[in-house]
Chain A
Amino acid sequence: MSQAIRRAQIPRLERARASPSGELARVEGRRVVTNPFFLASLLAGLAIAFLLTRSELPVWGRLDVLLPVALFPCAAVTLFLANLASSRTQRDEVEDLYASLPAPHSSVRRSILLGLLAPTGAAAMFVVVIVAFVFAGGALGTPRVAELAVGPLVVLLCGAIGIVSGKWFPHEISAALSTAVVALAQVSIAFALTVSWARWLGPWVPASTAGDPAPELLIRPSAAHLLYLLSLIGLVGVLALVPRTNARGTAATAVLAVILVVTALLQASRATEGRTELVALVRDADVFRQCEDREAARYCVFDGYEPLIDHWDVPVRGVLSTAPALPDGPLRVTQTLDAAGSDLPVREQSRLANRRGVDSITGLPTLVTDTHWGAGEALGMSELGLALGTASWVTGLPPTASALSPAPDVNASVLELVPASARDAARKLLTSGGAEGCSSVGQGRSIVALWLAAGATDATEDLFREDVGSPPIQEGVFQEFDQAGPSIYLATGNVVAWGKSETRYAIQLLDRPRGEVVALLQDSWAELIDASTTTAEAAELMALEPAVDGDAPSVERSLRAGFVPCP
């Protein structure tokens, strides 16, 4: 029977199974995915994915870029195991034995390369599981497949690099050395290179090298990068397979190298396109934002972030529903896009930084939130930040930095609160626009604001008690600010600096029945929120135990630290 007839009689699948590379690939692949270190690396990946999602409401535009990091341990272990498999024959000095087998030695390396599909598949399954889990948790936006595919492809690339390093340097330390070199190369390319397109030469490209910008303000040529990664894998794969002296191998290497250069140029050209659209997005932000009115608040968000309104509304409603009276007009809560570290031109970034806190249409102060919102243990931080802004608005304290602008009318109202001896310093601070914030130390209304904010939700109350109840504060919404005196707290994202004695009074109020405090507020609301009512007077009005802080900073000291009295 001729060879051709015999081949035709064997079904294709069986032929494939009969191929030594296919059979060996199955064995090699199984060896990798059942290796305890590989399984441990997947568990480590799960832990990383948990850390990435536990403290923040997941936003797909941010998470799908970060998720490949969870597969880095898996990629490192795959590199290790592929390297050890590739150099096995040389390390064990059994090359002569292998040469006596009917299958050529090159088929072993081919099978190791094919076997990498098993860990790559396991990595893809890992990604699918995480995506399903995050979806079930209510993530915002839509995941991008081209970004999510980077993780499994990095696993495949690392495996191929492991084979090449094992082939070229068949030594016991080759695996560890190449893992360290690949990790260093990834870190150097991703974080040390300052040219934006050059960062895309690494396998994984972080969202930014500085800050945590909004995904909408990033230019990510994901599809072109996927092509680049595939051609890189192809090139490394060919290097793993072909002998150095083989003419066909050299030709294939050259062709793949050209493809790699072309794809690299393609992604480089894409990485610098589209800045005009980004500038339009922030300059005409109101065109892209949708607003929704809910009772006394007006929320404006960018497309895709509408579910955040429900989250914001909880602390805001908690404050507004407790306050006996509200100022005129709705409270404005507006979403902005975090521009620091984004692909926006630097000039545009600084312009945005100066415009924060003012509604671009009405010019009125607005509470500003971004694309982040806490989850789990970090929920209280997000809620308390927004509740403090809302409570500031309710009690007449400045909710945003716009109230400290160098405008003459603002100056006049602030300067009235400053003793005559310190007026020059205060005027200088205001006109230069250098005010860090305003100090509510000694103002009775700040007790009310703090109590309203702390009592907005269960999470805000827990965090408030924890933060200001047990100084020194390491991490939280409130931070101690020593430069203005030992008795000042700064709240993240808030323009008002709070006095320690006021926070102690607020805790006293929190310890009382809520109805009792609400009744007290209703009785003396106008007096309590008057800017001229001192802390001591407000405490007396509410029959609070004295919580005098002997270290309360003077106005002069606050001014030196950049804080003017709150108008």
Chain B
Amino acid sequence: MTRKAVTLARPVARTVNWSAVGLSGALALAAVYVLTRSSCAVRANGEACLDLAARVQGVRLGGILLALGAATLMDDPTDEAVASSATGLAAVRGLRVAVALPILAAFWGGALWLASRNPAHADVLPAGDLTLEVSALLMVALAGGGAWVRRKGGRASLAAAPTVLCAAVLAALMPEPARLIVEDPADPAWATTHSTWVVVLILAVAAALWWSRDPGAPRLVQAWVRGRRGRERVASN
């Protein structure tokens, strides 16, 4: 399996739309830079000029832009040509994500570094939780793109990119019991919302895998029914 992945990595990498990933990554860095810069380090009363909540919001917006670029990962110009190959759809898509992951991680790391670049900011950015949020958003995008391709065909990013925006807006508007966005990491609700983000991530991964099933493979329920009938037949014989 590993050998196969290594062999496929180069040809798969050639089909990734690096310009879209690069453009959105650059925009993400620019946005984080603009939103987290402050004219002063510390105010006269000792407070930081830019509080932690503002920096968290800046990083989140950068994450949305990055996820928009990552939404193109499901676009495979060769999908029809290689549909009949032995490698499954989920494996190819997984490989596309894996190939782009170092670049996305580099942009994301850059965004986190930009947001915490001022040494006067004593509060540490909750990098892990923010990474969880952006990962969930990315997986939602991939799931949306996969669903679109399965149902309508064509380019996945046509649906994946709007899915990112809609998911971000919905996350911001979610009411209290299912709240997803907390501005201040010091807020007691921060931990609860990030448990919800874990659930969102798991569901999104499951949905992305579900929509990446091989189109030629029999449906799960049909396969189960067929297998059961077969077992019954064997038993009766």
Residue ranges of A at the interface with B (Cβ–Cβ < 8 Å): 80, 91, 169, 171-173, 175-177, 179-181, 184, 188, 192, 194
Contact = CB atoms under 8 A, between A and B. Distances in A.
Contact of A180 (B19, B34, B68): B68
Nearest to A44: B169
Given A80-B162, A171-B20, A181-B27, A176 B71 contact: yes
**Overall SS of chain A's interface:** helix
Contacts of A176: 68, 71, 161-162, 164-165
19 contacts: A171-B19, A171-B20, A172-B75, A172-B161, A173-B72, A173-B157, A173-B160, A176-B164, A177-B23, A177-B69, A180-B27, A180-B65, A180-B68, A181-B31, A184-B61, A188-B34, A188-B35, A192-B34, A192-B35
Interface in B1-37: 17, 19-20, 23-24, 27, 31, 34-35
Given A176-B71, A177-B161, A180-B65, A169 B34 contact: no
B78 to A, nearest CB: 15
B155 interface: yes
A171 B68 CA distance: 12
B162 A175 contact: yes
Contact of B69 (A91, A173, A175, A184): A173
B158 interface: yes
B64 interface: yes
A79 to B, nearest CB: 11
Contacts of B35: 184, 188, 192
Nearest to B54: A192
Contacts of A91: 155
Interface string B61-102: 100110011011001000000000000000000000000000
Nearest to A192: B35
**Overall SS of chain B's interface:** helix
B158 A177 contact: no
Nearest to B65: A180
B65 A177 contact: yes
B17 A171 contact: yes
Looking at A91, A169, A171, the one whose CB has the most chain B CB atoms below 10 A away is A171
A172 B158 contact: yes
Contacts, number: 57
A169 B64 contact: no
Contacts of B39: 194
B64 A180 contact: yes
Contacts of A179: 165
Nearest to B166: A176
B164 to A, nearest CB: 6
Which 3 A-B pairs rank lowest in CB-CB distance, beginning with the nearest? A176-B161, A172-B157, A173-B161
Contact of B23 (A169, A175, A188, A192): A169
Contact of A177 (B27, B34, B75): B27
Given A179-B165, A184-B61, A172 B68 contact: no
Nearest to A76: B165
Nearest to A177: B68
A171 B34 CA distance: 25
A177 B165 CA distance: 9
Contact of B161 (A175, A181, A184): A175
Contacts of B64: 180
A177 B24 contact: yes
A173 B24 contact: yes
Contact of B72 (A80, A172, A175, A194): A172
Nearest to A80: B162
Contacts of B61: 180, 184
Looking at A173, A181, A194, the one whose CB has the most chain B CB atoms below 10 A away is A173
Contacts of A177: 23-24, 27, 65, 68-69, 161
Interface string B145-177: 000000000010110111011000000000000
A171 B75 CA distance: 11
Contacts of B31: 181, 184
